[in-house]
C-alpha cells in the first residue's frame, strides 16, 4: 500500500463498556470503589511490610513488590476508564495509547514472574528449610525481583515498539475500554502477521516459563507435604502457601480464559467483563487474600492498629 498520501491517526477512540446511562452510573460507583480499595489496600500492604520488622522476610519482600505491581496495573486503566464512562467521545492520544500498552505489558509479565519467584521461595521454605537462609539470601531475593522487572521491560518494549511503528490511517475506534494489543493491531493499515507471531511466541514462552516454575515448585511442595507424618504438620505446611496458590489460580485462570479460549466461545461483551475483572478486580483481591489467609499479616495489622489507638489515647 502507498502511504504517502494517507492521513495518519494521531488519536484513538474507545468504544467503552456501555452506552446505557443507568449502567454507567452503577459501573462508575463500583469501579471507583474497586480502584480506591485497590490503591489503599496495596499501599497499606507496602507500608505495613516496610515498617514491621517481623515482616522483613523474603516472602513479604516479594509480596510488597506484587502490591506495587498491582497498584501500577490498576492505575494503567482505572483512572482513564472512570473518566471515560460518562464521556461520549472517549479519546486517547497515539502516544498515550502506546504508554498505556507499555505499562500493561510491563506489569502483567512482571506480576507473573513475581508469582514464580514466590513459588520458588515456598519451595525452598518447605523442601529445604535448613538451607532457607542460605538459598534465599538478600542478594538472591533482589535477583528474583529484578529479573521479573527486566523480563517485563523486554516484553513491553518489544510489543509496544513493533505495534506503534506500524502505520495507522483509519479507522481509529478501539472496540475496548483500554489499549489492548490485539485491538490496536486490528486497526493497523499494514500486515500484522509478524506482530501476532511475535506476541504468540513471547507470550507463550514467558507464560510457559513462569507457569512451569510455579508448577514444578508446587509438585515438589506437595511431595514434601505428603511425607510429613502428622496431620497438623501437613496443615501448617500447606497453609504457608495457600494464599499464593489462590492468587496464582485466579490470575492464570483469567489469563487462560482471555488469551487461550477461542474468541468464538464467548461474546465481546463477556470478554470486556473478564478484562475488567483482570485489570481492576484481581489487583484488589491479591492483598485481601493475603490478609485474610495469612496470620502474620493479620497480627501485624492488629499491632499497628493497637499502637495507633494507644498513641491517640495518650
State CA 152 to chain mean position distance.
Answer: 11
Percent of the residues in the chain that have a pLDDT greater than 90, as a whole number: 36
Residues 299 and 31: their CA atoms lie apart, in Å, by 30
CA 92/CA 16 separation, integer angstroms: 12
Q: Does residue 99 surpass a pLDDT of 60? A: yes
Q: Domain 11-313 is classified in which CATH homologous superfamily? A: Rhodopsin 7-helix transmembrane proteins (1.20.1070.10)
90: three-class secondary structure by DSSP: strand
Position 224 pLDDT exceeds 90: no
Three-state secondary-structure class, residue 173: strand
Three-class SS of residue 12?
A: strand
CB atoms within 10 A of CB 11: 14
Residue 297, classified by CB atoms within 10 Å of its CB into exposed (0-12), middle (13-18) or buried (19+), is buried
Report the side by side order of strands in the sheet with 173-174. 90-93, 11-14, 173-174
pLDDT tens per residue, range 17-40: 887 888 889 999 999 999 999 999
Q: Which three cell numbers stand for residue 32?
A: 471507583
118 conformational bin, left if phi > 0, alpha if psi -120 to 50, beta if neither: alpha
Confidence class for position 5, pLDDT limits 50, 70, 90: very low
Query: Would you place residue 274 in the very low, low, confident or very high pLDDT band (cuts 50, 70, 90)?
Result: confident
Q: Give pLDDT, residue 43.
A: 92
Name the CA dihedral angle for 220, 292, 276, 93, rounded to a multiple of 10 degrees: -90
Sequence spans of domains, the chain: 11-313
Scanning 52-173, the segments in alpha helix (DSSP H) are 58-84, 94-127, 132-135, 138-164
Run of H or E including 19 = none
Amino acid at each position: 500500500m502507498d502511504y504517502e498520501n494517507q492521513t495518519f491517526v494521531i488519536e484513538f477512540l474507545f468504544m467503552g463498556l456501555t452506552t446505557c446511562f443507568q449502567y454507567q452510573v452503577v459501573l462508575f460507583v463500583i469501579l471507583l470503589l474497586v480502584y480506591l480499595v485497590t490503591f489503599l489496600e496495596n499501599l497499606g500492604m507496602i507500608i505495613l511490610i516496610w515498617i514491621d520488622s517481623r515482616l522483613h522476610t523474603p516472602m513479604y519482600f516479594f509480596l510488597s513488590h506484587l502490591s506495587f505491581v498491582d497498584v501500577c496495573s490498576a492505575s494503567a486503566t482505572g483512572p482513564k476508564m472512570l473518566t471515560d464512562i460518562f464521556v461520549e467521545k472517549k479519546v486517547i492520544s497515539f502516544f498515550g495509547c502506546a504508554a498505556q500498552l507499555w505499562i500493561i505489558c510491563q506489569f502483567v509479565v512482571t506480576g507473573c514472574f513475581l508469582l514464580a519467584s514466590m513459588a520458588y521461595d515456598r519451595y525452598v521454605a518447605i523442601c529445604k528449610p535448613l538451607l532457607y537462609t542460605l538459598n534465599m539470601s538478600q542478594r538472591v531475593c533482589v535477583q528474583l525481583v529484578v529479573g521479573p522487572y527486566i523480563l517485563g521491560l523486554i516484553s513491553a518494549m518489544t510489543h509496544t515498539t513493533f505495534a506503534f511503528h506500524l502505520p495507522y490511517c483509519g479507522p481509529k475506534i478501539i472496540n475496548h475500554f483500554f489499549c489492548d494489543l490485539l485491538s490496536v493491531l486490528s486497526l493497523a493499515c499494514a500486515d500484522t502477521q509478524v506482530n501476532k507471531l511475535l506476541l504468540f511466541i513471547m507470550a507463550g514462552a514467558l507464560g510457559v516459563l513462569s507457569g512451569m516454575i510455579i508448577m514444578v515448585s508446587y509438585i515438589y511442595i506437595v511431595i514434601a507435604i505428603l511425607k510429613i507424618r502428622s496431620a497438623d504438620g501437613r496443615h501448617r505446611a500447606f497453609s504457608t502457601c495457600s494464599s499464593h496458590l489462590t492468587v496464582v489460580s485466579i490470575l492464570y485462570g483469567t489469563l487462560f480464559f482471555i488469551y487461550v479460549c477461542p474468541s468464538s466461545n464467548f461474546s465481546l461483551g463477556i470478554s470486556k467483563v473478564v478484562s475488567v475483572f483482570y485489570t481492576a478486580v484481581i489487583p484488589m483481591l491479591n492483598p485481601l487474600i493475603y490478609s485474610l489467609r495469612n496470620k502474620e499479616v493479620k497480627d501485624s495489622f492488629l499491632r499497628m492498629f493497637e499502637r495507633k489507638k494507644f498513641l491517640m489515647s495518650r
